[in-house]
Amino acid sequence: MNTFETLFGTPPQASASAAGRVNLLGEHTDYQGGFVLPTAIPQRLTVELGRNGTQEHVLHSLSSGQTLRVPLGEKGEGFAPYLVGCFQLSGVQEGLNALISGNVPSGGLSSSAALEVATLRALRGLYGLELNDVDLALRGVQVEHEFVGVKCGVMDQMASSLADTQTMLLIDTRSLERRSVPFPAGAEVLVIDSGVPRRLAESGYNQRRAEVEEAARQLGVKELRDVTDLAAVETLPEPLRARARHVVSENARVLRGLQADAAEFGQLMNASHASLRDDYAVSHPKVDELVNLLQAQPSVYGARMTGAGFGGAVVALVRVGQAAAVAQAVIAEFGNDAVQLVP
């Protein structure tokens, strides 16, 4: 008997999983029509579903051990809105049992998008929904906006739905055009969870989004994607000037990264971190410390915070074969419950 059957008394009727992601370049650009360059990570979340014949959803998370009961028509609390949002936007009108399991840590690696994409894939299987992988990602984004209250962009759900672990996925977040891009030759990706809990991630995120929308409005453009000349943002008042400078320079870094060798790509990652720390103000002193330790390692090409920020994970580009040794050295110095997640 699997755990679902032990918990609910019947086997699941549908099951699906989805990967977390790590973003290499292009942070906080995806709600201004910009470019992003994520890759999937091996860690995944799985959602199993079954009809329960009642008027409420019963949702269990294996990692927290929590069971939440949500009557039809309500959205619930805690992790419930992520699933219930997927149910409601997919037209589910009956009680479902759900079991969440997996190993995507929370904090910068898109555990929420993985949860939405896994849930929507399981629903697609259960109800035969006609939903392609892009529609599915966009429905996940709608769940964040309408049920979770985070005004996120499209990167995480697109990456969870469409990226693989072997390449980076360049996404134009305005047109949703995308293509696979190889990692720079001779390099591998290292991801470390700093162990710093994220604070103010949701409120800080929505505030940044409002700031750059205001910056675009003052510059008379639809989105900051339309600004390529950095001089233009210098006319803005602070803090809009610094916020816009980050977005405009970050878009340029992504495009530059497409041609870069490992050394140059690493420099772009370092510059991205400085910009997120100083202009976008979404880093955290402990995360900066971890990034500095990584950047000081001879076999590291570059390192930066990844994801929304305010704590969470960091990503480094490392000489191939050196990631484990780098992680060991850096974590020993940093402490703070940091753990190596990739490779």
The Cα 276–Cα 35 span in angstroms is: 15
156 flagged as catalytic: yes
**Least CB distance to ligand GLA at residue 150 (A):** 7
Residues 6+ apart with CB under 8 A from 92: 123, 127
**Least CB distance to ligand GLA at residue 306 (A):** 8
Residue 96, H or E segment: strand 96-102
- 48 is a contact residue toward ligand GLA (CB under 6 A): no
**Least CB distance to ligand GLA at residue 319 (A):** 26
* ω into 197 cis (within 30 of 0): no
- 139 is a contact residue toward ligand GLA (CB under 6 A): no
**Least CB distance to ligand GLA at residue 283 (A):** 12
Q: Which of 166, 167, 146, 171 is nearest to 156 (CA)?
A: 171
**Least CB distance to ligand GLA at residue 101 (A):** 22
Three-state SS for 80? helix
- 107 is a contact residue toward ligand GLA (CB under 6 A): no
- 116 is a contact residue toward ligand GLA (CB under 6 A): no
Whole-angstrom CA distances from 105 to 19, 94, 102, 182 are 11, 30, 9, 25
Interacting residue with ligand GLA among 156, 188, 193, 279 (CB under 6 A): 156
Q: Would you say 38 or 102 has its CB closer to ligand GLA?
A: 38
Q: Which range touches ligand GLA (CB under 6 A), out of 131-139, 147-155, 259-267, 288-296? A: 147-155
**Least CB distance to ligand GLA at residue 66 (A):** 23
Q: Would you say 100 or 114 has its CB closer to ligand GLA?
A: 114
Q: Would you say 60 or 243 has its CB closer to ligand GLA?
A: 243
Question: Strands 56-61 and 96-102: what pairing?
Answer: parallel
- 254 is a contact residue toward ligand GLA (CB under 6 A): no
* DSSP for residue 199: -
Interacting residue with ligand GLA among 12, 30, 39, 139 (CB under 6 A): 30
Residues 6+ apart with CB under 8 A from 139: 86, 89, 90, 116, 120, 131
Interacting residue with ligand GLA among 4, 15, 22, 27 (CB under 6 A): 27
* DSSP for residue 35: E
Residue 245, amino acid? R
Using CB under 6 A as the binding criterion, the count of chain residues that bind ligand GLA stands at: 10
Q: Which of residues 295-334 bind ligand GLA (CB under 6 A)?
A: 307-308
Three-state SS for 256? helix
* DSSP for residue 147: I
Q: Would you say 126 or 163 has its CB closer to ligand GLA?
A: 163
Among 30, 135, 156, 164, the one annotated catalytic: 156
Structure tokens at 64: 């927290």
* Alpha-carbon dihedral 156, 162, 165, 168, rounded to 10 degrees: -80
Q: Would you say 51 or 151 has its CB closer to ligand GLA?
A: 151
Q: Which range touches ligand GLA (CB under 6 A), out of 23-31, 87-95, 260-268, 291-299? A: 23-31
Distance from the Cα of residue 97 to its chain's centroid: 26
Whole-angstrom CA distances from 8 to 53, 66, 76, 95, 104 are 12, 14, 20, 13, 24
By annotation, the residues acting in catalysis are: 156
- Chain residues that interact with ligand GLA, rule: CB under 6 A: 27-28, 30-31, 152-153, 155-156, 307-308
